């Protein structure tokens, strides 16, 4: 708001000097401030217009920055061995950075399931980004171990972790959820310390930091970033339509 007021002050002050050059030397700072104040009182809508214009400019700049970052990190984002869903040959690729203890991620998950069931031209990549707790880190490691040893069980385990109400309590609970999803726990547990899991988790964290992603969920949709969970199915499909049409996500 201070930035807007400063810009408005400068514009009105310049206008005042331009309109009345003969009186310019007689105007004090207090006089100009009063002119600005009177103008704002009579035309308060100009602040809204300026605020909207500033927001649109900032969002446009952020969108351009996001596109550049996605292009620069395309290999790490898209050409990976992360778990996937949807159509592996889909024309549009979505990438989700998530944490199994993230409530917003859990709320978004049913929307993602609906989207993939309805839209068969989407490739979906899961990026484990455990940032909330130790149980988040353990669940992420367990999920990647399942992907390594029993890839056909990954989706069921992933869905079961998201379906769990509240935060994951401990390792025993994660094991119980895995076995309930049909995972051979002993087989998965034997690969928990696999170097490829350490590499995947480290790469995802470094990638998130490089792209300015500090929370979950975050979605890479084509060449744009959606930070935070979609409000509802309409907003999610709207974002998809925007990207496909070459528009900025609204």
State pLDDT tens for residues 9-19. 555 555 454 44
pLDDT digits over 73-90, tens only? 999 999 889 999 999 999
Per residue in 10-45, pLDDT tens?
A: 555 554 544 445 455 677 888 888 888 888 788 888
* pLDDT of res. 38: 83
Starting at the edge strand found earlier in the chain, the sheet holding 92-98 runs 84-86, 122-128, 92-98, 218-221, 224-227
User: Mean pLDDT, to the nearest integer, of 224-248?
Assistant: 95
Cβ atoms within 10 A of the Cβ of 88, count?
10
Distance CA 6, CA 28 (A): 17
Q: What are phi and psi of 155, to 5 degrees?
A: -60, -40
CA distances from 20 to 16, 25, 29, 249 (A): 6, 10, 15, 45
CB atoms within 10 A of CB 165: 5
146 CB contacts (<8 Å, ≥6 apart)? Answer: 153, 154, 157, 178, 183, 188
Whether residue 100 is predicted with pLDDT greater than 80 in this model: the reply is: yes
């Amino acid at each position: 708001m201070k930035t807007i007021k400063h810009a408005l002050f400068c514009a009105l002050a310049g206008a005042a000097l331009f309109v009345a050059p003969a009186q310019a030397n007689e105007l004090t700072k207090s006089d100009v401030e009063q002119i600005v104040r009177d103008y704002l009182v009579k035309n308060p809508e100009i602040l809204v217009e300026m605020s909207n214009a500033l927001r649109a400019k900032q969002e446009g700049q952020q969108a351009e920055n996001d596109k550049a970052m996605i292009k620069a990190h395309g290999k790490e984002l898209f050409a990976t061995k992360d778990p996937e869903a949807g159509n592996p040959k889909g024309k549009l690729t979505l990438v989700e950075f998530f944490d199994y203890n993230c409530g917003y991620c859990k709320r978004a998950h049913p929307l993602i399931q609906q989207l993939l069931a309805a839209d068969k031209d989407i490739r979906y990549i899961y990026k484990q980004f455990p940032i909330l707790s130790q149980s988040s880190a353990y669940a992420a490691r367990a999920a990647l171990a399942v992907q390594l040893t029993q890839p056909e069980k990954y989706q069921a385990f992933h869905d079961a972790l998201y379906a769990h109400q509240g935060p994951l309590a401990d390792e025993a609970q994660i094991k119980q959820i895995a076995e309930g999803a049909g995972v051979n726990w002993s087989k998965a547990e034997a690969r928990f310390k696999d170097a490829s899991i350490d590499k995947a988790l480290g790469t995802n964290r470094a990638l998130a930091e490089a792209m300015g992603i500090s929370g979950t969920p975050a979605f890479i949709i084509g060449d744009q970033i959606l930070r935070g969970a979609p409000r509802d199915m309409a907003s999610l499909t709207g974002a998809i339509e925007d990207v496909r049409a070459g528009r900025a996500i609204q």
